[in-house]
Amino acid sequence: MQRIGLLTSGGDASGMNSSIRAVVRKAIYHGLEVIGIRRGYSGFIEADMGPMNLGSVADIIGRGGTILHTARSERFKTKEGRALAMENIQRFGIQGLVVIGGDGSFTGASILHQEYGIPMIGVPGTIDNDIAGTDYTIGFDTAVNTVVDAINKIRDTATSHERTFVIEVMGRNSGNIALAAGLAGGAESILIPEIPFNIEEICQKLLRGIKRGKLHSIILVAEGAASGIDIGRQVKEQIGFDTKVTILGHLQRGGTPTAFDRILAARLGAKAVELLMAGETNKMVGIKAGEIVATDLTEVIGKPSPINKNMYELAKILSI
């Protein structure tokens, strides 16, 4: 193998640039050429790609987002679109592919591999931490720290005004961000899609807190569990609390990646290059118990990563 392609796809996640840097420099160290594909699979179809060198990835390790940009491509989902992408892959002499993204990104790469035999390795990059085969995905730790910082600041206001605040966080159908940030930030209630909740129980918990002299409360809601606005309205209707709602939204995606995300991204990116050089394909690199591992994509795509129920129970105990 002499030349590999590299792309980021799906939602951006802080740490992707660290992984891009690792792939490029690891590949060049071993004498490989790297072609950067811009805007995900759209770049394949539109031939929006070009060579990357050591200077291409200078000073990007601390930047959020992705220098290769990212986009979703409806055309790539069609057989005709993938055929055009393969023509450009051959035109640029790409012999292997590293895809940094989530479940949808891996699905596209796996289909391309099945149809045309192009070797590919996936690197998990998503703030949701919802991919099987890895304990952590690139961007999750940074997103959690962003939410914890928001909780700390909102708690100051909540204490000053003696109010209940509802904070809605991202995660699609996964409650991992809400659970980790809620435990780290001391939220009184954490609502996640994996575990049913009862609004009356939440309200009774708030009342018990008031009776023992508590001046404020934070309810953390994963977007896949409920709307923060709806939760705030229900709390006010049931017990009359003056409830304020904050929706953090895409604030959680960007920002300087944490040291953890930078290191994880670098290790995963470098391992992806090693696997391609060793002739491996249709696999995803991940981290399990601190060690970098490779898992067949058939065991990853469409397989949700289960929530840590022990962590959830601990958060409930500590927020009494």
Which amino acids are annotated as binding site for Mg(2+), given as ranges? Answer: 103
Look up 230 and say whether it is catalytic. Answer: no
Maximum pairwise Cα distance, the chain: 71
Residues 6+ apart with CB under 8 A from 144: 177, 180, 181, 184
Binding positions for substrate: 126-128, 163, 170-172, 223, 244, 250-253
Q: Is 3 exposed, middle or buried (0-12, 13-18, 19+ CB in 10 A)?
A: middle
Q: Is 208 exposed, middle or buried (0-12, 13-18, 19+ CB in 10 A)?
A: exposed
* Catalytic-labelled residue, pool 12, 48, 59, 128: 128
Contact 268, 292 (CB under 8 A): yes
Please tell me what DSSP assigns to residue 256: P
For the record, the structure tokens of 223 come out as: 């977007």
Q: Which residue has the tokens 């679109």?
A: 81
Binding positions: 11, 21-25, 72-73, 102-105, 126-128, 155, 163, 170-172, 186-188, 212, 214-216, 223, 244, 250-253
Binding positions for ADP: 21-25, 155, 186-188, 212, 214-216
For the record, the structure tokens of 224 come out as: 């896949």
Task: Look at strands 164-169 and 243-247 and give their pairing.
Answer: parallel
Neighbours of 175 (CB within 10 A): 29
Q: Is 29 exposed, middle or buried (0-12, 13-18, 19+ CB in 10 A)?
A: exposed
How far does Cα 225 stand from its chain's mean position? 18
Binding positions for ATP: 11, 72-73, 102-105
Radius of gyration of the chain (CA): 22
E-state strands within 129-201: 164-169, 189-191
Catalytic residue IDs: 128
